[in-house]
Amino acid sequence: MPKPFLPAFADLSQDIAGEIPVGIIEDWIQSDGSAEAHARILASFERRGTFVSSDSAGLSKLALGKSLIEVMKLVSQPKEIIHALGTAIGGQAVGIWIADNTQMFYPSSVPVEHVVRQMLAVQNEASKCLVKVGLGIHVGVVYEIGGGLYGADADDVEHATEEESKAGEVMVSKAVKGIIGESFTVDNERAGYDILKRSPGDSPIKHGTNNRYPAPFDAKFFDELQMLDLTNKESVAELERARLQARTVVLLRVFHAPEELLLNTLTKGVSTNSLMNNVLKRYDCNLINMNGSLMIVTLEKPAEAVDLALALHETARENELTANVGVVAGDVLIFDLGHGKEQIAGSPVNVASKLAEDTDERNAVFLESSVAEHAPQHGLTSAFTVSKSGVELTGIRVSF
């Protein structure tokens, strides 16, 4: 399959490429596009080992009636356990743990049996938390690029954990089961993964003390969150007053067709970043994240946010890209991580994600009820109601 053509590659910057090193994209474009060239360029990024994903269960319902700060405190607790026990046996956190999921990598020097045992212990510890998580474990080959894990094996466990895991479960792939044999009891099987039987005796191989996971917020807020007493409503309210900001979130999700070769996927992503970055230059907006298939932007004015969403979608259509955009206004937390990087947290981001990523529709702009009054007066607009994770979302859909 021919490589996607990337226009004006010479003008690419590291910012447009996101976390993907520009050098490997340049090497790929200048290569003959063969499987041999692909393997040679990625050889230094290849890593073998065990990867573990987690996903919170029932968070949407749990969050109802709770403030953002309260939810962040609750979500943080199992993350701290996963990181502390995971790093204790040699695990490495992958990326920034922005949402309610996590990812860790254990190099091949860490026995797979140790990882499985430690994750069973994680679930025993996390059972004391109000927010419960499911864990998925897989072993194989991945490419570590720009702080993220790429490749079919990483995608497999992440997808299985998000879609199939339930609260308190440890799911292991057939590849993991082939290594651990009968060392652990299987309780059930789902979607090609074995669900291990847990017992109160599942204790850590080694207790961890480093609970400071790669959070999407600054160190000061991490400390404030850990010390926060949720039963003290005034303390919660005081932290909210100091930190919350009213913003409108625009979340763009581009659905790229699957590629057999990873570098074709990454090149598509860099090209998409370049296209969308040119649109952003026309607006007074704050880019939070852009990784080739997902973009998160904040604006102060809802009307301008709707205009931006429509412009991004128009650019996607002009370039034959399948995309959705979700637009939601509300209170968010924005954290300055230094070096020109920021991260965001808050219900508007979660809702925008559900609308843009988790619906079955494609090629639509979803204007949640908080911004619905700014829907265009002309075009294919209609009211929508979407139920996701027990929560009902309403607004105006702009279809194309």
State yes or no: pLDDT of 16 exceeds 70: no
pLDDT of residue 6: 41
Residue % of the chain over a pLDDT of 70 = 95
Residues in the chain: 400
User: 170-173 and 132-145 as β-strands: parallel, antiparallel, unpaired?
Assistant: parallel
**In contact, 299 and 308? CB cutoff 8 Å:** yes
Tokens of 382: 């209609």
Which alpha helices (H) appear in 281-379, and where do they start and end? 302-318, 347-357
Question: What residue ranges define each of the domains in the chain, with the CATH number in brackets?
Answer: 46-218 (3.30.70.1230), 244-399 (3.30.70.1230)
- Most confidently modeled range among 109-113, 128-132, 266-270, 345-349: 109-113
pLDDT of residue 96: 87
Look up the pTM and report it.
0.85
pLDDT of residue 391: 78
DSSP letters spanning 25-70: HHHHHHS---HHHHHHHHGGGEEEEEEEEEEEESHHHHHTT--HHH
Long-range contacts of 39-44 (CB under 8 A, 24+ apart): 41/263, 42/143, 42/262, 42/263
Q: Tens of pLDDT along 346-386? A: 889 989 999 999 899 999 999 999 999 999 987 789 999 99
Tokens of 240: 């909210």
Of the candidate ranges 33-47, 251-265, 330-344, 357-371, the one whose mean pLDDT is the lowest: 330-344
Q: Tens of pLDDT along 229-268? A: 999 999 999 999 999 999 999 999 999 999 999 999 999 9
Task: Compute the Cα dihedral for 179, 180, 182, 188 and give only its sign.
Answer: negative
**In contact, 114 and 205? CB cutoff 8 Å:** yes
pLDDT of residue 338: 78
pLDDT of residue 299: 97
Could you tell me the pLDDT band of residue 394, with boundaries at 50, 70 and 90? very high
CA distance 35 to 33: 7
Could you tell me the pLDDT band of residue 217, with boundaries at 50, 70 and 90? confident
Mean pLDDT of 32-57: 96
State yes or no: pLDDT of 13 exceeds 60: no
State yes or no: pLDDT of 8 exceeds 60: no
Please state the separation of Cα 199 from the chain's center in Å.
Answer: 30
* 336 contacts: CB under 8 Å, gap ≥ 6: 218, 342
Mean pLDDT of 64-82: 91
Mean pLDDT of 196-200: 95
Instruction: Write down the residue that tokens 């021919």 correspond to.
Output: 2
Average pLDDT, the chain: 91
Could you tell me the pLDDT band of residue 389, with boundaries at 50, 70 and 90? low
H/E stretch holding 324 reads strand 323-338
**In contact, 342 and 334? CB cutoff 8 Å:** yes
State yes or no: pLDDT of 307 exceeds 50: yes
CA distances from 317 to 220, 313, 322, 324, 396 (A): 42, 6, 7, 10, 20
Mean pLDDT of 60-65: 74
Long-range contacts of 267-272 (CB under 8 A, 24+ apart): 267/3, 267/4, 267/6, 267/25, 267/28, 267/29, 268/4, 268/292, 269/18, 269/20, 269/293, 270/6, 270/12, 270/16, 270/17, 270/18, 270/20, 270/22, 270/25, 271/4, 271/6, 271/7, 272/321
Mean pLDDT of 48-52: 97
